[in-house]
Structure 1
Amino acid sequence: MSTQIDRKQSYTIKEAAVLSGLTDSTLRYYETIGLIPHVTRDASSKYRVYSEDDINYIVSIACLSATGMSIDDMKEYLSNVERGEGAAPDQIKLLDEQNRRLAEEERNLKLRRHYLQTKADYWRAVQNKDLDQAAKVSEKAIAIAKEVKESRTTI
């Protein structure tokens, strides 16, 4: 999967994409906007050559991106890393806020899954010709739908 240059592990952009879970085009874009620092190019081919440190850095970015963190927040996070220990309060605030957003997304996802399960229960009751149960489950689904709607208005 990788080549040897100067006895150090190196990777192509395709290999970097596989290892990080990001696409080639995302890696190029992140480099263009400065999220990924300058990547070394092969002297003869001019192709990008990623070092093990580059891959580790890119995987960190991919992890942040996977949380839904915005590019601006990722840039702030990486800038804060450069500041070191003095940036700890800013990092904690940034990460806690992203964690709060993820918790809200998780809550909304669970709510939508509960709605789907309730609708399936409704149709099971209909299939079984249990109209009383269908009516009860329908009311439950309406209540869940209302909760989903209300969760959207608090964003």
Structure 2
Amino acid sequence: MTIQEAAERSGLSAHTLRYYERIGLIHSVRRDGSGHRDYVERDLEWLDFLTKLRTTGMPIAEMCRYAELRRMGDHTAAERRAMLEAHRDRVRCRIAELQQDLKVLDYKIDIYRGME
């Protein structure tokens, strides 16, 4: 599929896809006979995972390290797992913080409701 089709399906812009390729987050995408990028389903699955990492707050540099380890092969699985476990712990902490913030918002909303 073309970069435009991959962008549409992934929810990322073509500019972002090119940037991700340039910094090594995605491998050099296969090219068709005309030299245009030719994305496949496996590329979209990887982009979906990268999007989840980014949405949950993983820094780009850490994502690049993870991608580099992935390209190095199965012998890096333990390090990749450790990276994901550490990131999961940070996400859980952030969720707990957000839950506390939500309680404060609910409290304030209840005060305003009581004033009506």
TM-score by structure 2 length? Answer: 0.82
For 2:114, what is the secondary structure of its paired residue? helix
Who is 1:12 aligned against? 2
Can you give the 5+ residue segments of structure 2 that lack an aligned partner in the other structure?
none
Question: What are the Cα deviations for residues 30-55 of structure 1, in whole angstroms up to 9, with x where unaligned?
Answer: 011121111233433x4322123322
- RMSD over aligned CA atoms reads 2.0
Who is 1:125 aligned against? 114
Please tell me whether the aligned partners of residues 24 and 68 of structure 2 are also in contact (alpha carbons under 8 angstroms).
no
Who is 1:62 aligned against? 51
Please tell me whether the aligned partners of residues 42 and 48 of structure 1 are also in contact (alpha carbons under 8 angstroms).
yes
* Shift of residue 26, structure 1, vs aligned partner: 1.1
The 5-angstrom pairing of residues 5-84 of structure 1 reads 11-44=1-34, 46-84=35-73
Name the % identity.
Answer: 36
Please tell me whether the aligned partners of residues 12 and 48 of structure 1 are also in contact (alpha carbons under 8 angstroms).
yes
Say which one has the larger Rg: 1
Change (3 A) 1:13 1:121: same
Change (3 A) 1:20 1:122: same
Mapped to 2, the partners of 1:36 and 1:82 lie a distance apart of 10
TM-score by structure 1 length? Answer: 0.64
